[in-house]
């Protein structure tokens, strides 16, 4: 049985990797998904995979840090399917260096994408959420909505070379815990999922021919140091990194009706790290 039948979900950064796996999982469970990526090709590919599997999805291409994007993202759900039930703030990337080599632009970029963008998307959704909740309660309906913000175990424990990234990811935990109190009266569960090492293009081993990603015209190196990869067995009790599908499973748990009394929580999907 489709556990999320009738629900409408926004998933930012869902053209690739973990975000794509989240979109596919929610769609497979019956949700109609607004897929987002900064590039049209990956966004349309995720939509195609959902539709080919019998689900419903549309793409809303755009940069989550752009000032006009949050309202456009939310309004696409409302104009297409006239409701919004699930918001997954997943979009992000890494831009690493030690603090003495980190410029203001790098610092601001990490906070912008990992904290400010989720804040703006949730603020854009607030009017609909408050109005819908009031109308549902007047009709005697008990409808729960879900917000899942993606954070990192680096935000919980720190990670050398990622002071800006982990600061942004830690800030979204504060956003989550406060909003869980503000939106509890609207029956909105606001939680975080903190990923450990999940195998994607952003966490491939760094070596010869290391991969880069393009963000706003800048080529940024991505990957995990060989030393870290070699020590996985020591750091992660399960002895391996996770898959995007396993990461998506943790997000799905927070979207289920069984999680209606869980809010303000940080769930670690980290293999025990």
Tokens 């009790």, located at residue: 237
The reply to whether 128 belongs to the active site is: no
DSSP string across 216-270 = TTEEEE--B-HHHHHTHHHH-TTSSPBPHHHHHHHHHHHHSGGGTT--S-EEEES
Torsion angle of C-alpha atoms 262, 191, 193, 49, degrees rounded to 10: 100
Q: Give helix 117-138 / helix 69-81 axis angle, nearest 10°.
A: 30
Residue 80: enclosing H or E segment and its boundaries? helix 69-81
Query: CB of 170 within 8 A of CB of 212?
Result: no
The widest CA-to-CA distance across the chain, in whole angstroms, is 62
The single residue of 93, 128, 157, 165 carrying the catalytic annotation is 165
Structure tokens at 135: 């109308």
Catalytic residues: 165
């Amino acid at each position: 049985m489709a556990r999320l039948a009738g629900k409408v979900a926004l998933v930012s950064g869902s053209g690739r990797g973990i975000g794509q796996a989240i979109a596919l999982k929610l769609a497979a469970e019956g949700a109609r998904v607004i897929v987002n990526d900064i590039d049209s090709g990956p966004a349309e590919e995720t939509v195609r995979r959902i539709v080919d599997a019998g689900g419903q999805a549309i793409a809303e291409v755009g940069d989550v840090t752009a000032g006009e994007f949050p309202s456009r993202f939310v309004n696409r759900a409302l104009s297409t399917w006239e409701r919004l039930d699930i918001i997954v703030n997943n979009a992000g990337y890494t831009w690493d260096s030690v603090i003495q080599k980190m410029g203001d632009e790098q610092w601001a970029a990490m906070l912008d994408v990992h904290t400010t963008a989720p804040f703006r998307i949730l603020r854009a959704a607030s009017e609909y959420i408050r109005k819908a909740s009031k109308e549902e309660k007047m009709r005697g309906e008990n409808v729960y909505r879900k917000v899942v913000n993606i954070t990192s175990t680096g935000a919980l424990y720190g990670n050398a070379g990622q002071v800006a990234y982990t600061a942004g990811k830690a800030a979204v935990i504060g956003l989550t815990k406060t909003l869980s109190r503000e939106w509890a009266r609207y029956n909105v569960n606001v939680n975080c999922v903190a990923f450990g090492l999940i195998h994607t293009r952003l966490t491939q081993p760094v070596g010869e021919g290391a991969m880069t990603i393009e963000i706003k015209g800048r080529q940024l190196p991505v990957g995990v140091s060989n030393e870290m990869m070699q020590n996985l067995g020591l750091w992660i009790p399960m002895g391996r990194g996770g898959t995007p599908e396993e990461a998506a499973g943790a997000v799905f748990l927070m979207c289920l009706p069984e999680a209606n009394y869980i809010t303000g929580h940080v769930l670690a999907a980290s293999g025990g790290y």
